Structure 1
Amino acid sequence: MARILIIDDDESVRNSLTRCFAGRGHEILLAASLSAGMELAMTGVDIIYLDLGLPDGDGKKAIDDLSAIAPFPEIIVITGMGNNYGAQETMASGAWDYITKPASPHIVKASLQSALNYRKDRIANLKIKSAFDECGIIGDSPSMKRAKRLISRAAESEASVLILGETGVGKELVAQAIHANSCRRAGPFVVVDCSNLSESLVESLLYGHAKGAFTGAHTDHKGLVARANGGTLFLDEVGELPPSLQKSFLRVLQEHRFRAVGAAQEQTSDFRLVAATNRDLESMTHSGNFRSDLLFRLRTVEVALPPLRDRDSDVTLLADHFVARYCERYGQPPKRISPQLGKVLEGYTWPGNVRELGNVMEAAVIEAGDDPAIYPKHLPRNVRMSCLDTPDRGLAGDRGERTAPDAPPGQPPAGRDPSPEAAGVRAVPTYEEYKSLRDTAYFTQLMAACDHDIARASQTSGLSVPSIYRHLGLAGIPTRSKAKR
């Protein structure tokens, strides 16, 4: 018997699904809102039928939150929004199935049965595993919990892994975690930075060369592919791999055989490949800049890392970690993060992601000196000023309020409700409102600059095509086809 949760604001839909599952021995839980559904999900459920258009929240945004609640239920999206609204985003977020209303009982029952069969097999095949070494990966947000589960699964296999994510999200750290938790952990972890490969020397660097192969080759040289024998070969920024090398590397990846420059005999190397990129390789294959057959070999397992701006609860957690690290490095006493600083950090969009946050907190620790706490004044100027981009945001108080210059001491600025409740509500937007405004402004400008061309927008922003579509959908910004109608 399974516990099935139905989250839908339409009573007729809830009743229809309940009748559909009647007589099968399942326990049915009903919720008419997202908040009520979250509460019921916390009690432990196996399957969730989730509507996307809910009165108190966006169902697409809730998928990560719901799927991260133990015992990690399967999410089946059921929606009346036409044209497969949100299908790409919901399936990319890990939803089990996507059903469009009205759906026949046969389709609903088949989807439920397939999800239950999967859960049964998964539970039956559970093994006692050693603790997963996160290798310094920090984050408890729903999106990071989901990413960690994918990383753990990837580590258990020998398949090629492609790690996707914006610059600075920690792709190399994830590659190290995959290696450290794999059966190859005792072998070497060899990093190849494809963005720094010179086309004239790339074959020698990867495959090595024999003595006398070219001027200056005074001895035999072992390449990185050979050095990775028995371990993991990590291709960082694989989207920058020169086109002239993609064909030969595809053969190496398929056969694990290669020939050093100037050598007569081929060599073999038993390596496991992990690659990473911030580029949209799918779009690059369409434009002819990346081989599609190489992409298919790279992404047997795909791990997408969320940007820091989508990891709300992790920002302060990471900031604390960096503060502790740099206080120890520079011999300073431990410092705490002030409430004012926390608000600024959570309101900033972090275009450089975790790497930028680390650099910012290092600068703040140095600037704070012997101060026991870090305040916004200790941050680099660009981050401090970012919170002034939105009206009624400031750095002085816990609420981020600023007092008009002509306001009498101890009194609110003219025209404002003096009550604390009104001041808190009117002076500062909610974090979700603030983030939405910033995201909407960015993607409006991006699409205008790119003439609503999704591929160009992806190349310009460094975001993947699915990520572009997700942000456009949330902001209500039309794609090229809709804009030109």
Structure 2
Amino acid sequence: MARVLIIDDDELIRSGLSRCFGDLGHDVLTADSLGRGLDLARAGVDVIYLDLNLPDGDGHMSVNELTAAPGGPEVIVLTGLKDNFGAQETLTSGAWDYIQKPATPSVLKASLESALKYRSDKFAAQAPARAFDDGGIVGRSPAMDRARQLMARAAESEAGVLILGETGAGKELAAQAIHRNSARRDKPFVVVDCSNLTETLLESVLYGHVKGAFTGALTDHRGLVAEADGGTLFLDEIGELPPSLQKSFLRVLQEHRFRPVGSSREQSSDFRLMAATNRDLEAMTRAGTFRSDLLFRLRTLEIPLPPLRERDQDVGLLALHFAKTACDRYRLPPKQLSKQLDKVLRPYTWPGNVRELGNVMEAAVINAGQEPVIYPKHLPGHIRVSSLDKARPKRQPVRAQGSQATDGPIQPYKDYKALRDQAYFRQLMDICDFDIPEASRLSGLSVPSIYRHLSLAGIRRGRK
């Protein structure tokens, strides 16, 4: 008997699936919201049927968290007739399958049977897992736990690995972690940054050259492909590899043989290839700027890394880590992070991801100097201003003339404005830590105006 969890806000769907699986002798749990479903999943279940459109959250974003629940349940996505694409997207996050509503009992039973058969085979053949040394990668969000699982599996094989992620997401750290846990751990880990090399230089850097191959080639030079013999060759930003080199490099991948520039003799190198990119290589193949046969060779295993905006629970851990690193680097006393700082860091979208957070925290440590606590006032200005933008009330759509209000009696404008002003200035004081000149600079109001608004809103230091 298995434990099956159904997460769907439609009572008819929940009751229908519950009867279907209950008749098979399984223990069935139901939840009408994502929050309730996550609580039940943490208690331990085998299979989860998940609706993507829930009243309190996005089913797409929850797949990683559900699959990371105790026991690693299999997730089967329930989708409407017009949401096949959305359901298919969840398969890349580790969902077992997706089913289109309405589904017949035979389809539902077959999906459950196949998922349970997979789990039975998996646990029967499972050997004790070797501890995975992630090299200190910071973060315990479900998305990062999922990425670690994929890294650990990649480390157990010799297959090529393609790591996908935005700029600053930690692609090279992931590649290093895979190498560190692989059978090649004692051999070289060689990095090639394809984005920083010209086409002519890249060929020489990859394959090496012989003396006299071109002007300035005064001696033989050993290329990085040769340096990686026995170890791992990591091509960072593989999407920047010039089209003329893609064909020659495909042959190197297939045969592990290459010819240095200017040489008539081939050499061999036993390397494992890992590559990373922040570009959409499939779109590039459709546009004819990236070879499809090279892409197929690269992504035997594919590891997507989540952007920092999808790891909000990791932001505090990373901020503390980077603050400690900066304090050690500049020989400054250890620092704590204020609660106000977390309110500013978490909502920020972090377009530069983990790398940007590291730079921001280094700047904050430098600005704090000998002070023991880092406050929002120590952050770069653009980070602080972004939180003010979020604090401003969003403009509501204007009702059509003659339409009836359905939200109850409207609040007097004077009362509404007073409440919004109070919320704005509380947020402003949290960010500036009651530094009135700084509040004046950020808000564009004069210092006397700031004091007047604080008085009207009844905001005083110590009463935030």
TM-score, reference length from structure 1: 0.81
For 2:429, which of 396, 406, 409 is the aligned residue?
396
CA distance in 2, matches of 1:351, 1:90: 23
Residues 137-168 of structure 1: per-residue CA shift (max 9 Å, x gap): 11111111111111111111111111111101
2:325 equivalent in structure 1: 325
Query: 1:92/1:130 Cα in 2 relative to 1: closer, same or farther (>3 Å)?
Result: closer
Query: 1:296/1:412 Cα in 2 relative to 1: closer, same or farther (>3 Å)?
Result: same
Once the two structures are superposed, the pairs formed by residues 32-431 of structure 1 within 5 Å of their partners are 32-80=32-80, 82-84=82-84, 86-390=86-390, 391=392, 392-393=423-424, 394-397=427-430, 405-407=451-453, 409=455, 411-412=457-458
2:415 equivalent in structure 1: none
Matched, 1:9 2:42: no
CA contact (8 A) 2:162 2:302 kept: yes
CA distance in 2, matches of 1:46, 1:125: 17
Structure 1 counterpart SS, 2:84: coil
Residues 202-230 of structure 1: per-residue CA shift (max 9 Å, x gap): 22211112233233333222110011011
CA contact (8 A) 2:194 2:202 kept: no
Structure 1 counterpart SS, 2:6: strand
Structure 1 counterpart SS, 2:64: helix
CA distance in 1, matches of 2:432, 2:360: 22
Q: Give the drift of 1:15.
A: 2.5
Query: 1:261/1:22 Cα in 2 relative to 1: closer, same or farther (>3 Å)?
Result: same
Q: Give the drift of 1:18.
A: 2.5
CA distance in 2, matches of 1:408, 1:55: 37
CA distance in 1, matches of 2:384, 2:14: 48
Length, aligned pairs only: 416
TM-score, reference length from structure 2: 0.85
Residues 254-312 of structure 1: per-residue CA shift (max 9 Å, x gap): 11111112222211111100000111111111111100110111111111111111111
The alignment-based identity, stated in percent, is 65
Structure 2 counterpart SS, 1:29: strand
Once the two structures are superposed, the pairs formed by residues 460-479 of structure 1 within 5 Å of their partners are none
CA contact (8 A) 1:4 1:46 kept: yes
Q: Give the drift of 1:410.
A: 7.6
CA contact (8 A) 1:140 1:314 kept: yes
CA distance in 2, matches of 1:34, 1:40: 10
Query: Over alpha carbons, which structure has the higher Rg?
Result: 2
CA contact (8 A) 1:147 1:304 kept: yes
Q: Give the drift of 1:26.
A: 2.1
CA contact (8 A) 1:340 1:396 kept: no
Q: Give the drift of 1:316.
A: 0.8
Q: Give the drift of 1:347.
A: 1.9
Q: Give the drift of 1:356.
A: 0.7
Structure 1 counterpart SS, 2:359: helix
Residues 442-467 of structure 1: per-residue CA shift (max 9 Å, x gap): xxxxxxxxxxxxxxxxxxxxxxxxxx
What letter matches 1:307 in structure 2?
P
CA distance in 2, matches of 1:138, 1:37: 27
Which segments of 5 or more consecutive residues in structure 1 lack a partner in the other structure?
414-422, 425-485
Structure 2 counterpart SS, 1:86: helix
Residues 394-451 of structure 1: per-residue CA shift (max 9 Å, x gap): 34228999996434738548xxxxxxxxx99xxxxxxxxxxxxxxxxxxxxxxxxxxx
CA distance in 1, matches of 2:201, 2:174: 28
Structure 2 counterpart SS, 1:388: helix
CA distance in 2, matches of 1:71, 1:316: 27
Structure 2 counterpart SS, 1:157: coil
Residues 235-258 of structure 1: per-residue CA shift (max 9 Å, x gap): 000000011100000000011111
Q: Give the drift of 1:49.
A: 0.6
What letter matches 2:61 in structure 1?
K
Which segments of 5 or more consecutive residues in structure 2 lack a partner in the other structure?
393-422, 440-448
